Homo-oligomer: A and B are copies of this chain.
């Protein structure tokens, strides 16, 4: 399964954050004890946008800190939520008096810790939340349980909210735009090979040669079905059609797509997926108007891909196109 570039496992995340400051100290600043990352050049007089979650999904979220996107990112350990004191400190550092919007991926730990942080600051700060729950492979809250997982739609959410905040929108508007993105987005992922956790050295599940796992999460969760491998055209169609149906996209609908590499999937493969996605959408009469292709929400070294569709409108397209300057997106 191979090793990893790391020192003692308990130092992996902290040292990676220190390394991010080495490579991108012009854009991001690491704050320590509690650990979080802010813009190197903090914004003034705008709504603050803060996100975070377990590490192992890089460039999410630290790579999206910068002008036009996040003001702060709060990393937990690998696949573990940050604690509420980290989140509170990040809000305090990022808030300029115009209020803060928290973008939270829907996992129990993240929801808990981000909401505790908001509660701790309720007397002094205006904190609104956007819950991202785009993963179609999981049940919606209406069906009972914790609801759908949050995956790559979080990138679209952070981009749109970040652009709105940068343009001076008030905190409720930034929140509402984020919630609108979530309601208009859905994601499905598949894997050829599960990730190996560097903290344990263990692969999260095993597949036989020629099998794929359909509907995987971004923490090495198994999917909803193990299927035979297929050509790219069929794979992409199997991921895309349920998204189109779930979002109720009719002919002529404008779509934004994120073709997301889950960690160890090569750029050649992601480009093939992008090509097949366009074919698939155009074959259904949809208009692929914006695409983002690359490893943006990874699951350590998982081999596989996820596809996120967002039903666009003119306002969301304009916010998507607004300038952004972060490590991972610019």
Q: Is residue A86 within 8 Å, beta carbon to beta carbon, of the partner chain? A: no
Once the chains are docked, how many angstroms separate the CA of A144 from the CA of B3? Answer: 35
Q: Looking at chain A's contact residues, is the secondary structure mostly helix, strand, loop, or mixed?
A: mixed
**In the complex the two chains form, is B263's CB within 8 Å of A264's CB?**
yes
9 closest A-B pairs (Cβ-Cβ)?
A19-B271, A2-B192, A2-B193, A58-B267, A264-B264, A19-B275, A5-B269, A23-B293, A16-B271
Q: Is A18's beta carbon under 8 Å from chain B?
A: yes
B56 and A231: CB pair below 8 A? no
Residue A55 lies at the interface, judged by CB distance under 8 Å to chain B: yes
A7-43 CB mask vs B (1 if < 8 Å, else 0) is 1100011011111101110000000000000000000
Pairs across A and B, CB under 8 Å, 7 listed:
A4-B192, A5-B273, A7-B272, A12-B268, A19-B271, A20-B271, A63-B267
A273 partner, pick from B19, B209, B274, B301, beta carbons under 8 A = B19
Say if the beta carbon of A109 comes within 8 Å of chain B: no
**Could you mark each residue 271-299 of chain A with 1 if its beta carbon is under 8 Å from any beta carbon of chain B, else 0?**
11111111000000000100111000010
How far is B13's CA from A293's CA once the two chains are assembled, in angstroms?
16
* CA of A4 to CA of B259, assembled, Å: 15
Shortest Cβ distance from A305 into B: residue: B5
